[in-house]
Amino acid sequence: MNENRIVLTRRDFVRGTVAGVLSASLPGAAAQQRRAARAATVILVRDQKVMSAANQVDVRVLRQMLKDTLLQVTGKPSERDAWLSLVKPDDIVGLVPTPHLNPTHKELVDAVRSSLVEAGIPSANIRGAQGGPDQAKACTALVPLPALKAHWLTGIGTVLKNYILYSGEPSRYHDENNAKLGAIWNMPHVKGKTRLVLVDALRPLCDKGPQPDPRYMWNYGGLIAGTDPVAVEAVCLKIITEKRQALRGEPWPLSPPPLCVAAADETYGLGTSRLSEIKIVRYGWNQDSLV
């Protein structure tokens, strides 16, 4: 039997002990548990007008939300200054949206591209970078643009899973092996390239993902962003978890458990997964924020 095999019960997850169970199950657990406290800020910008009753995106509202998000993340006075604090004009900037099955809204990808060009990044230096390892190798900067969703193979299929194709072997990171998703972010062709994490939370999916299922989708009208990918994922996980509980009226754990979030922190050192260490800055519409 593999001594590092992680066995997690429904009760473990419901009680919120994923991080403890995971850290006790992986090599170097004692050192991980003693890690220094970290701090991160995650920006949540929402507007109830960004999605119509027919689930169409209001591009004008979305563009303002993007501007607000960039200013809040960077503290800069303009959209241009915000981008130039994250990327350089000579960077090859790879945009990494969710490609299919409940994909990132095209309107968001287009808005990010236009905003970068207006900030002085040459259009030729901006490319779609969702794909295999060569896509990441060709870029000097990455901006993941995942859609917020649950996933039947990894629990949550948002930030950390967004780079799964960069591994070259995505099937190795499914089920309980989703705990290893953080390792992809430390691969040489990926490490250090992520400049901003921007999550499409306009219309999330809280179960049965990645296939869209209207029963578990709702107009949240949000963008979630930060420079700590684990902190952004932790906030995304909180929103999904709270929405699932609201639908059922009781705890409804994700299956498989999203072990990747705690592991990205405790094992791979990518950022903080602990909500107690995350400052959430809310901007705009706050009703039913779930976090």
7 pLDDT exceeds 70? no
Q: What percent of the chain has pLDDT over 70?
A: 88
For 260-272, what is the HEC assignment? HHHHHHHCCCCCC
pLDDT at res. 100: 86
Angle, CA of 97, 267 and 143, to the nearest 5°: 20
pLDDT in tens, 9-58: 333 433 343 444 344 334 444 444 568 899 999 999 999 999 999 999 99
Q: Residue 282 in contact with residue 288, Cβ under 8 Å?
A: no
Token readout for 253 is: 């754990």
Query: Phi and psi dihedrals of 76, rounded to 5?
Result: -85, 160
Token readout for 273 is: 């997964």
Q: Exposure string (b/e) for 70-82, b if CB count within 10 Å is 16 or more?
A: bbbbbebeebbeb
Beta bridge partners of 224: 44, 199
pLDDT in tens, 74-118: 999 999 999 999 999 999 999 999 998 889 999 999 999 999 999
Q: Distance between CA atoms of 209 and 267, rounded to whole angstroms?
A: 26
pLDDT at res. 249: 97
251 pLDDT exceeds 60? yes
Angle, CA of 108, 112 and 117, to the nearest 5°: 150
Angle formed by the axes of helices 59-74 and 106-118, nearest 10°: 60
Q: Which pTM was predicted?
A: 0.89
Q: Please, which residues have CB within 8 angstroms of residue 192's CB and are 6 or more apart in sequence?
A: none
pLDDT in tens, 216-244: 999 999 999 999 999 999 999 999 999 99
Q: How confident is the model over 135-147, as a mean pLDDT?
A: 98
Kind plus residue range of the DSSP H or E element containing 280? strand 278-284
5 pLDDT exceeds 50? no
Burial of 128 (0-12, 13-18, 19+ CB in 10 A): middle
Q: What is the mean pLDDT of the chain?
A: 90
